[in-house]
Amino acid sequence: MNLEGKVAYITGGTKGIGYGIAECLLKEGMKVAISGRSQEGVDWAVKNLGDGERVLGIISDVTKLKDEIAAVDKILATWGQLDMVMANAGVGIFEPVDEMSEKTWRQMIDTNLNGVFHTLKASVEALKKSEGYYMTLASLAGTNFFPGGAGYNATKFGVVGFTQAAMLDLRKHNIKTTTIMPGSVASHFNNNEPSDDDAWKIQPEDIGKLVVDLLTMHPRTLPSKIEVRPTRPDLK
């Protein structure tokens, strides 16, 4: 894919990994729509990404299919096409399963798992037209379970399975589909405030560079599932 002038949509793009991906795609000449649930967060991100003509901020809650349909409609009305989608929005709450409330369980299922379906459902027809790329942001928690992770593990195992099956469904339409599974990232996830103490972690721009590499790979080749982890976790 020649990225100049292509259009991307990133859910949860107002901070962290989503924001880092947006920065990298803008440097490649793409137009980037980012979504978030708060007007304040969207406005901050659009202002700091710094290119009003190539950045579109959208209020959308991925737990609601109608919001994602409206988001895609806005992108198409603004730029007339959609070439790449990154379903990045997610939430992590870590509690022993016997202490987890139904509300917590549903919050993670609705955001992390239903959200990736809603984003794909809303965008798939546009991606068929562009023969574009659909990506999901999963986690190493989608293959490695741990105490206190029952809800989060369930959603990320689900994202990996969903994305891999979607890949098999969509490749006949010349849509490429990949799930990215990071380990520890220096982001705001789980109420973390990135600092120098996070220098050993994967940085958001590292995931952004990975996305660029995927988009520019020869169309005959598809890395459908990618695990990525810090090189030296012992430095934490």
Task: Tell me what pLDDT residue 52 has.
Answer: 76
What SS3 class is residue 14? coil
Polymer length in residues for the chain: 236
- Give dist(CA 11, CA 3) in Å, integer: 19
Task: Tell me what pLDDT residue 113 has.
Answer: 97
Taking the model in full, what pTM does it have?
A: 0.94
The radius of gyration computed from the CA coordinates of the chain, to the nearest angstrom, equals 17
In DSSP notation, 184-208 reads SBSSSGGG----GGGTTSBPHHHHH
| β partners of residue 55 | 32
> CA 191 → CA 67, 94, 188, 197, distances in Å?
25, 12, 6, 15
Per-residue buried b or exposed e for 82-106, using 16+ beta carbons within 10 Å of the residue's own CB: bbbbbbbbbbbbbeeeeebeeeebe
Residue 32 near residue 49 (C-beta atoms within 8 A):
yes
What SS3 class is residue 113? helix
Could you tell me which of 155, 136, 150, 162 has the C-alpha nearest to residue 226? Answer: 136
135: left (phi over 0), alpha (psi -120 to 50) or beta: beta
- Give dist(CA 82, CA 72) in Å, integer: 8
Task: Tell me what pLDDT residue 186 has.
Answer: 84
Could you report the per-residue pLDDT of 79-104, keeping only the tens digit for each?
Answer: 999 999 999 999 999 999 999 999 99
What the chain holds in terms of domains, given with CATH numbers, is 7-235 (3.40.50.720)
- The low-confidence residues of the chain, meaning pLDDT below 50, are none
E strand or H helix that includes residue 54: none
